Amino acid sequence: MTEDDFIQAVKRNNQRLFLIALSFTKSSYDSEDILQNVFVKLWKYTKSFSNSEHIDKWLTVVCVNESKNYIKSPFRYHQNIDDCEFISNADFDNAAQLDLFNAVMGLPKKERAVIHLFYYESLSIKQIAQLLKIRDSAVKTRLSRARAKLKEKLGGEWIDE
Amino acid sequence: MSKKQYIETFSTLNPSEESIERIMSMTDKKRISRLNKTLIIIAVVISLLCSVGLVANAATGGAVAESVSEVVEKVSKKMTVLVNGKEEKVTVSEKIDPKDEKYYPADEKCYAAVIEVKSPDTDTKYEVLYEDAAGSEDKKYYPADEKNYAAKLESKTSDTDKESEARYEETADSDDAKNYTTEAVYNAQDIDKDMESSLDVALKGSTTKTE
């Protein structure tokens, strides 16, 4: 991988990967650490990629695995989402966005990741199952539970698609 | 709330600029790291070579350094040699080693010569007049040395199909460099199967300095 390819990959994927990590960790600092680890792996990766989409998919898989390993790590500094400085500084356009963000972040870890991958990354149930290494039915169950909780938290404003 | 709103909400969240800059600077650090590694490897190789040379030189009592200086002193020198009045350019390597064998093309009659020059310790060009004791009219000029000159000639003439071996020795007084005469002994062996004979022929050689 050339330096230009790497910089382009960072510019193209940094926000997306950061949000995937955030859906797992609920911490902006941890997410930035994960983001850095992911790009270190990309920079050290010696095999060539066929195209930019290949790089993006590779980064998604690495980011999910890195996030899962990160939250399992016993050395991880656990930070409560309520104490996170990130939320208060987040520049949301309206109160509805803040409510949605808080509602999503209030979901359990497993459901939160599935919701994010389904709605933000637009991955199919099958793709999510492969990515998280779980069965399709488990993805459907988590998705269903998450939607129900969001509906409850957001007062019936959540529309399933 | 819908998928669109979800995307809009989370699109406002970004990692900090510091973390992005830190990630971007990874490439610079790696580039510097590679350069440092290369420089370190080069330095290690040079130091290893130096240390090996020093150890070898010490173990051989300075012989390595002498041989290295000898190689350095070995100069490839172009000289013009007259063969039958015809100029031929040859390369003469001057060595401190007293044995220096040169192979020169000689006359048109397939004459091959092996010349052994002893102690060529000067840069001076010399022409050595060599008269064939067998009565040939060929006169050959070879580069020689100011002090000592010894030539071993092996000749073969195509027209007679006879091989002869000649040894030409001469010594000269170094104080008399310009004009001196030498005594040479010419031993010719006729290797003809039917008649085998050896001849000791004294010949006169003269050298003239052509600086």
Contacts of B23 in chain A (CB under 8 A): 10, 14, 35-36, 39
Mutate one of B2, B7, B17, B20 to test the A interface: name it (highest A CB count within 10 A).
B20
Q: Please name the member of A97, A157, A159 whose beta carbon is closest to the beta carbon of B9.
A: A97
Q: Do A97 and B8 touch (CB under 8 A)?
A: yes
Q: Which pTM was predicted?
A: 0.52
Q: Which residues of A touch B7 (CB under 8 A)?
A: 119-120
B16 and A43: CB-CB below 8 Å? Answer: no
Q: Does A8 touch chain B (CB under 8 A)?
A: no
**Residue B182 pLDDT:** 33
Q: Which residue of B has its CA nearest to A8?
A: B24
Phi/psi of residue B128, nearest 5 degrees = -110, 125
| 107-126 of A, contacting B, C-beta below 8 A | 116, 119-120
Once rounded to an integer, what is the mean pLDDT over residues B151-177?
39
Q: What is the DSSP letter of B85?
A: T
Please tell me which of the candidates B2, B12, B30 has its beta carbon nearest to residue A92.
B12
pLDDT band for position B37 (cuts 50, 70, 90) = confident
CB contact, 8 Å: A87 with chain B?
no
Please write the tens of the pLDDT for every residue from A112-159. 999 999 999 999 999 999 999 999 999 999 999 998 888 888 876 666
Confidence grade of residue B5 (pLDDT, cut at 50, 70, 90):
confident
Q: Is the pLDDT of residue A65 over 90?
A: yes
- Spatial strand order in the sheet of B86-94: B86-94, B75-83, B139-142, B126-131, B196-209, B179-191
| Mean pLDDT over the full length of chain B | 54
Asked whether this complex has an ipTM greater than 0.95, the answer is no
Q: What is the pLDDT of residues B96-143, one digit of tens each?
A: 333 444 444 444 333 334 344 333 444 444 444 343 333 444 444 444
Q: Are B162 and B180 within 8 A, CB to CB?
A: no
Do B136 and B160 meet the contact criterion of CB atoms below 8 Å apart? Answer: no
Nearest to B5 among A22, A91, A100 (CB): A100
Residue B77 pLDDT greater than 80, yes or no: no
Counting other chains too, the contacts that A78-81 makes at CB distance below 8 Å and 24 or more residues apart are: A79/A26, A79/A27, A79/A29, A79/A30, A81/A26, A81/A27, A81/A105, A81/A106
Q: B10 in contact with A at a CB cutoff of 8 Å?
A: yes
The span from the CA of B173 to the CA of A161, in Å, is 114
* pLDDT at residue A70 greater than cutoff 80: yes
Measured between beta carbons, the chain B residues lying within 8 angstroms of A93 are 8, 12
Average pLDDT value for residue range B171-185:
35
